[in-house]
Amino acid sequence: AQSVAQPEDQVNVAEGNPLTVKCTYSVSGNPYLFWYVQYPNRGLQFLLKYITGDNLVKGSYGFEAEFNKSQTSFHLKKPSALVSDSALYFCAVRDLNSGGYQKVTFGTGTKLQVIP
Amino acid sequence: GAGVSQSPSNKVTEKGKDVELRCDPISGHTALYWYRQSLGQGLEFLIYFQGNSAPDKSGLPSDRFSAERTGGSVSTLTIQRTQQEDSAVYLCASTQGAYGYTFGSGTRLTVV
């Protein structure tokens, strides 16, 4: 079974400060990892993904995420937060060993509030 | 179309009535998913269609829920005899490859 944990329901950060949204995962094989963002009254949007290669993945809107295999983590980061980054962020994982079955498991989401 | 389209965007229904939610995926995407997002909850997997294979219905919460996908394209999620706990945002997503999904904007269902 695969699972994702987002330990923080909400993260508050001042505009201009660096932000981190935490995610840890559990899979039996090698993970595919994703971050999605949901702005108010909008659908989910893809931010970035990790498949293989460099542990630091860069994505949309200046976001990046660092894959840490030993800690089974995939934290989302941004060097300088914007008020417009305020949204709901979802981490997701897919087990490479799931073969042709592509089900992705999502975390419960973390609300990011950037304070002006 | 350019994205995944869901309709209606909002639906208010009386308890006990049936509802149908529609998803129009991106043309050519072979995989289609339905998820449910309840207040304060994460995304709950409901059902998955992949090409002509039998759908994975393992996430459907009860036999009141069903879904079909016609011609490998449009999908309809049907909820019979709706209950108040069915109130949620129902999200559809499609994908072609193994990685990233494209989500629709969702249908907000309110059962009163």
B105 close to A (CB below 8 A):
yes
> Exposed, middle or buried: residue B92 (CB in 10 Å: 0-12, 13-18, 19+)?
buried
- Residues counted in chain A: 116
Contact: B42, A103; criterion CB under 8 Å? no
Cβ–Cβ pairs < 8 A, chains A and B? 53
Q: Evaluate the omega torsion of the peptide bond into residue A40 and state whether it is cis, within 30 degrees of 0.
A: no
Position A87 scores a pLDDT of 93
Closest to B34 in 3D by CA, of B85, B79, B96, B76: B76
- Residues of chain B with pLDDT > 70, as a percent, come to 91
Q: What average pLDDT does range A26-54 have in this prediction?
A: 85
Task: Please name the member of B48, B99, B105 whose beta carbon is closest to the beta carbon of A103.
Answer: B48
Q: Which residue has the higher pLDDT, B43 or B110?
A: B110
Q: Are B90 and B10 in contact (CB under 8 A)?
A: no
Position B50 scores a pLDDT of 85
Task: Please name the member of A41, A51, A106 whose beta carbon is closest to the beta carbon of B42.
Answer: A106
Closest to A98 in 3D by CA, of A8, A5, A1: A1
Question: Has residue B97 got a pLDDT over 80?
Answer: no
Residues A52-105 pLDDT 10s:
888 999 998 999 999 999 999 999 999 999 999 999 999 998 876 655 455 678
- pLDDT band at residue B44, thresholds of 50, 70 and 90? confident
B41 close to A (CB below 8 A):
yes
Position B91 scores a pLDDT of 92
- pLDDT band at residue B30, thresholds of 50, 70 and 90? confident
Q: What average pLDDT does range B64-88 have in this prediction?
A: 94
Position B66 scores a pLDDT of 97
The rounded mean pLDDT for chain A is 89
Question: Has residue A3 got a pLDDT over 90?
Answer: no
Question: Has residue B38 got a pLDDT over 90?
Answer: no
Position B31 scores a pLDDT of 87
| Chain A contact set for B106 (CB, 8 A) | 43
- pLDDT band at residue B70, thresholds of 50, 70 and 90? confident
| Chain A contact set for B105 (CB, 8 A) | 41-43
CA distance B20 to B4: 17
